[in-house]
Amino acid sequence: MTNKNNNPTEACTSSVQVSTAISKDDLLPLLKQSIPSISSYKVVDTVVQANAEGFRVLVSHDDDNTTELFIKLIDASIYTHKKWADLRRTLLYARTEIRFYDEFLTSLRSKLSCGWPIAPDCYYAQCDLSGLVAEDESPSAVDALPAYHTSSSSDDDDDDDEIILKSDSFIGRGGSLLLKSINPITHMQHSPLTMSQASQCLAAAAKLHAAGWQDESLLQRASQRLCDNGGSYHLRIRNPNEIRDMEQSWAKFVSNFEHVAPSNFFKREGVKDLGKRIKDIAEYVSMELSPKPTDKYATIVHGDYKAMNIFIPRGIDDNEEKKNSNNNNNDCIIIDFASAGVGLGMSDVAMHIAHAVRPEDLRNGGEERLIDEYLDALRNSIEGLEYPRDIALRHYRLASIDYFRFILGRFWRSASVETFEKRKNSPNSTLVNRDLDAALGFVERVVTFLNGVEKEREV
């Protein structure tokens, strides 16, 4: 069953007036106003995330046909226990993703002649954060305050003044998405990935990047409506304490892992002072990876390109060729565009490789092979697109350093052998924060990349 609109994503606009105060106990009003032929529904699965709730539903139509859909709800009132900075981040994630589906997906699809859908079809997207987040407020405006608030002083130097919001500020505030559900028979989510799976995920990233490549008008709009600096871990939106404490975080990581690492690993030149090196270069690296909409190589990036944000076609592995290559079921489908915005495509590539590819697969040329396959897919997506390999590799090295800065500042400051063991089978966790070989391999690669960037700055 297809929607009456031949292009459901084009019907996914904020002009559809449904209250954002949607009850998860009664989803039928949203379903019927989005697709009037729906008569009933059944919840097949529930997904509770840190910043949203999701429902996979089987809907019945007036003609007795059935369709599987996915509903994503963000109810601001659920997250009132969070500090304002965390709550604001949650709300902005929701706004960015809803705007991506509502305002950008159709345009990006039109740029690709291959017919690849990029993301699931969208039937409904709505967001209302009035009184909490201004319509034109940038995610990078880290000091922004809600419209309706008071402050209470705090003696804790590490925390901002507590933001106290009026209780009615949250009523009806939040957002909703109604998407086509992805068939688990044809696609799966998985991590870590085989090299073939990683290659296909990077090819999908390449097509997304190609669709927005150096399109100044599109990127200018993205900088205003999505994230002006795409990425869930961009330096501008991180807690400044992460940089401030970088050396201490590295010292803690070394202390907690030196007894299980190869002998003298952490005493190597360039490794022992890695925390300081990252701290000293973090701002430069971030600036190099933050293009303006008019800059060369700028594009729309996903911003959180981990394996679990990609539905991969089943049956794609290192020993089996893609079957029925003209079938869209053999394409990856990307989800969770909460950090989408303007950036360099290599930020997605570097995160994906560190997050989801086994260290043994990256050795002996495996890492550069994946990069080259990404570049081939990028150039094949749109005729005339240029991204010289030497520049792309430089961007990749910078992006790897940038992702390492995030991992060290956010996760490794409290990492231990025990926490790695606890997370070892968690596919949503980055591999470099749950596998010692992956972590140490990441350290080695980043040290090599740092050596080159530091020399570059000396010239």
pLDDT in tens, 290-323: 999 999 999 999 999 999 999 999 987 644 444 4
The whole-number pLDDT of residue 330 equals: 75
pLDDT of residue 250: 98
Structure confidence at residue 9 (pLDDT) = 54
Distance in angstroms (rounded) separating the CA atoms of residues 350 and 45: 32
How far apart (Å, rounded) are the C-alpha atoms in residues 362 and 438? 10
Read off the pTM.
0.91
Check: CB of residue 129 under 8 Å from CB of residue 369.
no
Mean predicted confidence (pLDDT) in 255-276: 97
Given a cut of 50, whether residue 371 has pLDDT beyond it is yes
Tell me whether residue 439 is exposed, middle or buried, using C-beta atoms within 10 angstroms of its C-beta: 0 to 12, 13 to 18, 19 or more. Answer: buried
Per-residue pLDDT for 259 more than 90?
yes
HSE toward the beta carbon, residue 455, CA cutoff 13 A = 7
The residue-averaged pLDDT of 269-279 equals: 97
Show Cβ contacts of residue 343 under 8 Å, excluding neighbours closer than 6 positions. Answer: 229, 230, 231, 289, 290, 291, 298, 299, 300, 301, 303
Query: DSSP per residue over 4-68, as a string?
Result: SSSSGGGG--TTS---S---TT--HHHHHHHSTTEEEEEEEEEEE-SS-EEEEEEEEETTS-EEE
Quote the CA–CA distance of 432 and 420 in Å, as a whole number. 9
Of the listed ranges 84-98, 215-229, 249-263, the one predicted with least confidence: 84-98
> Which residues contact residue 96 at a Cβ distance below 8 angstroms, ignoring those fewer than 6 apart?
139, 226, 227, 337, 338, 339, 340, 341
Q: For 396-453, what is each residue's pLDDT tens digit?
A: 999 999 999 999 999 999 999 999 999 999 999 999 999 999 999 999 999 999 999 9
What pLDDT is stored for residue 19 in this prediction? 46
Task: Determine the average pLDDT of the residues in 57-77.
Answer: 95
Which band of pLDDT confidence, cut at 50, 70 and 90, is reported for residue 147? low
Is residue 10 scored above 70 in pLDDT?
A: no
pLDDT of residue 172: 84
pLDDT for 190: 92
Q: Is the dihedral of CA 161, 165, 166, 167 positive or negative?
A: negative
Compute φ and ψ for 117, nearest 5 degrees. Answer: -80, -10
Those residues whose C-beta lies under 8 Å from the C-beta of residue 195, and which sit 6 or more positions away, are 318, 357, 361, 366, 369, 370
Spatial separation of the C-alpha atoms in residues 189 and 404, rounded to whole Å: 24
| Cβ-contact 246, 278 below 8 angstroms | yes
3-state secondary structure of 128: strand
Look at residue 12 and tell me whether its pLDDT is greater than 70. no
- Region 131-156 average pLDDT: 67
pLDDT at 139 (0 to 100): 84
Encode pLDDT of 155-184 as tens digits. Answer: 444 444 455 555 567 888 999 999 999 999
First to last CA, the chain: 62
Inter-residue contact 76 to 174 (CB < 8 Å): yes
More confident site: 113 or 327: 113
User: CA-CA distance, 386 to 378, in Å (whole number)?
Assistant: 9
Written as one string, the DSSP assignment of 294-352 is TSTTEEEE-S---GGGEEEETT-BTTBPPSSTTSGGGS-EE---TT-EEEEHHHHHHHH
Return the DSSP state at 146: -
| Structure-token pair, residue 113 | 């002649």
Radius of gyration for the chain, computed over Cα atoms and rounded to the nearest angstrom: 22
How much of the chain, in percent, has pLDDT values that exceed 90? 76
Q: Which band of pLDDT confidence, cut at 50, 70 and 90, is reported for residue 8?
A: low
Half-sphere exposure of 401 (CA within 13 A, CB side): 30
Among 32-41, 78-87, 393-402, whose mean pLDDT is lowest?
Answer: 78-87
Is 347 exposed, middle or buried, given 0-12, 13-18 or 19+ CB atoms closer than 10 A? buried
Spatial distance between the Cα atoms of 407 and 414, rounded to a whole number of angstroms: 11
pLDDT at residue 326, as a whole number: 42
Task: Find the mean pLDDT for residues 368-397.
Answer: 97
Cα–Cα distance measured from residue 457 to residue 354, given in angstroms and rounded to the nearest whole number: 25
Distance CA 138, CA 413 (A): 29
- Across 73-78, average pLDDT: 90
CA distance 316 to 14: 37
CA 61 to chain centre: 34
- The residue among 173, 171, 149, 147 whose CA lies nearest residue 161 is 149
CB contact set of 304 (below 8 Å; sequence gap of 6+):
231, 232, 336, 338, 339, 351
